[in-house]
Amino acid sequence: MSSAGIDSKGIDKVRDWILGRHPERTELAADVDLIESRLVDSLAFVELVYTIEDAAGIEVDFESIDIEDFQTLATIEKAFFA
Amino acid sequence: MDAVSYTAQWMAAARAQESEREDALFVDPLARDLAAPRGFELIERYAGGGLLPFISIRTRFLDDAIREVLAESGIQQVVLIAAGMDTRAYRLDWPDGTEVYEVDHALLIAEKRRRLDALGAEPRTDRREVSADLTQEWLPALEAAGFDRERPTLWVAEALTFFLTEEQAAGLLRLLASASAPGSHLAFDILGRALLRSPFSKSFLETLAADGTPWIFGTDEPEEFLTANGWKTTDLREPGQPGAGEGRWPYQVQPRNRRGANRLWLIRAEIATA
């Protein structure tokens, strides 16, 4: 973890975006359910998708979104950054 | 009271909370007493997803629309459709001679009257209650209360179209158009379609459906929907924009062309002229 903060991985950008919306939190484990915990709600969801698109350099197809892919940081990493 | 009346209590509770904020967008001193018994419980039940700020922003947007439309047009006939626990007749400044018709079902109107009487509330204009079932023909009841379709009208339909099917929402706009003299206006809100389809909305939408008040209708092309049903959009905003709760909306306002964004439309329109 010594120098990871400088050249952060894509998934860290996603984590930073979520933490940025919730100043009361300082960390976010990979297995926290983002929906159940209301860290990402329906209106913020689209911003999450754009954040992932920017960080991963991909385009997400809104028509075929699988919510399972967005459940936790771990599932997001697996689906978009693996 | 039926399920939609609990929705009215929820709205009242949200307005009561807003009224107590330092930076309140409006103050509704009657809302707290109109929110009982279930309003505050429903705020908890439906928490999250930007609903509370949306309810407040929408209330203020429509307050502004009413004030500005009446001042600019000279309209003196205002109809609040499915008025619920709305207290605008008691809290806004109305031009002299304004008639405000509150249309809702008889049970809600009776309960609202009972509570407002107990509070000693006095309307600030000529307020007229219209008991009607909005799923049946209700214009005759409105006309029996004094509404005159030969005079221009401002129609206000707050938090109503969500609960309709697309056919019903279109039918409502056409019905209003059919009873609108030239120069009539409409102020209301519509959900975006993406919001109703987003997987992140699923559990909230399921809760509403389980409570008997499913959200059904939404569109991502509101101007086209209005045009197809007799109305011309004159002002279209989304929460977070100037004049629509800028600074109070906890989400980014997405550019119009951005795919997949969840929209909430705040709309002013005027009757289309042939």
* Topology (CATH level 3) of domain B56-271: Rossmann fold (3.40.50)
- Ranges of each domain in chain B: 56-271
CB contact under 8 A, B50 and A65: no
Residue type, B162: F
Record the pTM.
Answer: 0.90
- The tokens for B97 are 């001679």
Separation in Å, CA of B215 to nearest CA in chain A = 14
Mean pLDDT of A16-28: 93
Q: Which among A40, A50, A66 has CB closest to B200?
A: A40
Question: Is pLDDT of B176 > 60?
Answer: yes
As beta bridge partners, residue B235 has B268
pLDDT tens-place string over residues B193-214: 888 887 778 888 898 899 988 9
Asked if residues B19 and B27 have their Cβ atoms less than 8 Å apart, the reply is: yes
Q: What is the reported pLDDT for A1?
A: 43
Q: What is the reported pLDDT for A6?
A: 47
Nearest to B81 by CA among B30, B28, B147, B125: B147
Greater pLDDT, A5 or B53: B53
Q: Name chain A contacts of B55, Cβ cutoff 8 Å.
A: none
Q: Which among A35, A62, A70 has CB closest to B259?
A: A62
Which domains are delineated in chain A? 10-81 (1.10.1200.10)
Q: Which of B46, B54, B198 to mutate to test the interface with A (most CBs of A within 10 A)?
A: B198
Residues 6+ apart with CB under 8 A from A9: A81
Q: Phi, psi at residue B154, to the nearest 5°? A: -105, 115
pLDDT tens-place string over residues A24-42: 999 999 999 998 888 988 8
Asked if B201 is an interface residue toward chain A (Cβ–Cβ < 8 A), one would say yes
CB contact under 8 A, B194 and A43: no
Q: What is the reported pLDDT for B274?
A: 63
Assembly ipTM: 0.72
Determine the straight-line distance between the first and last CA of chain A, rounded to whole angstroms: 19
